[in-house]
Amino acid sequence: MDEHELDADALAQFREWLRAAESIEPQPHVMTLATADAEGQPSARQVLLRGVDERGFVFFTNRASRKAAELAGNPRAALVFHWFELGRQVRVEGIVEQVDEPESEAYWQTRPRGSQIAAWASRQSQRLHSRAELDGLYEEVEARFDDGDVPLPPFWGGYRVVPETVELWQHRENRLRDRIRYRRHGRRWRRERLAP
């Protein structure tokens, strides 16, 4: 991989790699999201990328979840995309901001009804006594909304990771991988090659 042949804009280059992943990878939008609480205790989980543009990387979740609580106390995160079939990985680090309600509402309307009901039913990251409790909560919400529209919950919405660094990693033999890191400087990006 020649860094001089890559797009000068990190997000444009990411979108090019994502398009390639979408053509071959079974789950190209899965990303690991790493957060840390105010004391620095880290946690990671996989979430789905639901949008990427010049502003950053968007995912949606319950705003009372563990990840949301961690982001409230420490609004920084890291993302990792691993596309095994392509032999590529992308790492992202940046500041996290909440997506505004109209954008959250627009995405909410694309979700399957069952997922909308589940979002209302699940007190994400809270302790349950049994699976039956969760199933009961789902049935209660399903009955409450009957056949009508399921509105956007006030406790659910999007987050955007505004990247400060984006690192592209590509497999090569003998562990001599290619690693190109973009760092944001104002509105521009600077590229540098890293040792594997």
* The pLDDT value given to residue 166: 98
pLDDT at 29: 98
- What is d(CA 49, CA 58) in angstroms, rounded to the nearest whole number? 6
CA distance 53 to 192: 22
Residuewise pLDDT in 10s, the chain (196 residues): 888 889 999 999 999 999 999 999 999 999 999 999 989 999 999 999 999 999 999 999 999 999 999 999 999 999 999 999 999 999 999 999 999 999 999 999 999 999 999 999 998 888 999 999 999 999 999 999 998 999 999 999 999 999 999 999 999 888 889 999 999 998 899 999 999 9
Q: Residue 11 class from Cβ within 10 Å (0-12 exposed, 13-18 middle, 19+ buried)?
A: buried
Say what the pLDDT of residue 112 is. 94
Could you give the domains of the chain? 3-109+154-194 (2.30.110.10)
Q: Which of 175, 177, 190, 193 is catalytic?
A: 175
pTM, rounded to two decimals: 0.92
pLDDT given for residue 124 in this prediction:
87
Q: Is 76 designated active site?
A: no
CA distances from 104 to 109, 117, 167 (A): 9, 16, 28
Q: How far apart are CA 196 and CA 193, in angstroms?
A: 9
Residue 130 has phi, psi (to 5 degrees) of -165, 165
Q: Six-digit token pair at 130?
A: 């049994």
Strands (E), 17-87: 30-36, 42-48, 51-53, 56-62, 76-83
